Structure 1
Amino acid sequence: ALEIIAADGLVDLQDKASIPLIVDACQRAPAEVAQGMARDLLKFDDPRAQAAAEEYLPKDEVEKIVAANRQKNQKN
């Protein structure tokens, strides 16, 4: 979906100012699209993004993605 692609682009730019916009888009999107954007939110190292993602994804999935992102960031 276009929303997921847009969210992914903002995450790639690490545009933390866009977090509230992505969260708003999640609230308006169908569940499947919201889940995709929530996964993108987890690429931000930001507690607001993680808290928002937890509304759309199972906690174990959130923890797994966050751990993988931290490991990836440590290698870079």
Structure 2
Amino acid sequence: MPQRKGLLAPQNTFLDTIATRFDGTHSNFVLGNAQVKEYPIVYCSDGFVELTGFSRSQIMSRSCSCTFLWGPNTSETAKDS
């Protein structure tokens, strides 16, 4: 049985299709739940985990705006866009 990464429920075929089709193709992405305030991340690709250096458990349920990636040198202009 393949390992599930995130909150993918069997009935959610859209998320399952996206995750299956694009994961492992050197794609770095997250999927968020647009029905919840702050759009929490419900799936992150292996490439995104590798790119950011965060563990999957550190990424899950954070906002899709990825503000957790902002550092002290992130400009206000970049934050506003």
Q: Same fold (TM over 0.5)?
A: no
Give the structure with the higher percent helix. Answer: 1
Largest Rg, 1 or 2: 2
